[in-house]
Amino acid sequence: MATPIPTTPAWLDRAGWPYGPRSVDTGDGGQHYVDEGTGPAVLLVHGTPTWSYEWRHVIAALHQEARDPRAHETRPAGDKRPAHAVSV
């Protein structure tokens, strides 16, 4: 099954969120994430019911400090599908 490409909401200020959509097929619909650097990785995990947009200022600051900020989208609160193990 192909993973749908996440769409960007029309109301989103692209100046505040300049990151392109990335996703990986997890076998159960895909996982959206942000990966914006080349240095040591820093994993950013948001709470529910928010999304990675909460980390926009931290992502920008880490990127400037030669870090690799990675923020993933957690599953929506109402998503009852079982999670599957994934090897990366």
Q: What is the pLDDT of residues 54-80, one digit of tens each?
A: 888 888 888 888 888 888 877 655 555
* DSSP secondary structure letter of residue 52: G
Sign of CA dihedral 82, 19, 61, 42: positive
Cut 0.75: pTM above it: no
pLDDT at 15: 82
Which of 44, 24, 43 has the alpha carbon at shortest distance from 84? 24
C-alpha–C-alpha distance, residues 35 and 29, integer Å: 19
pLDDT at 3: 47
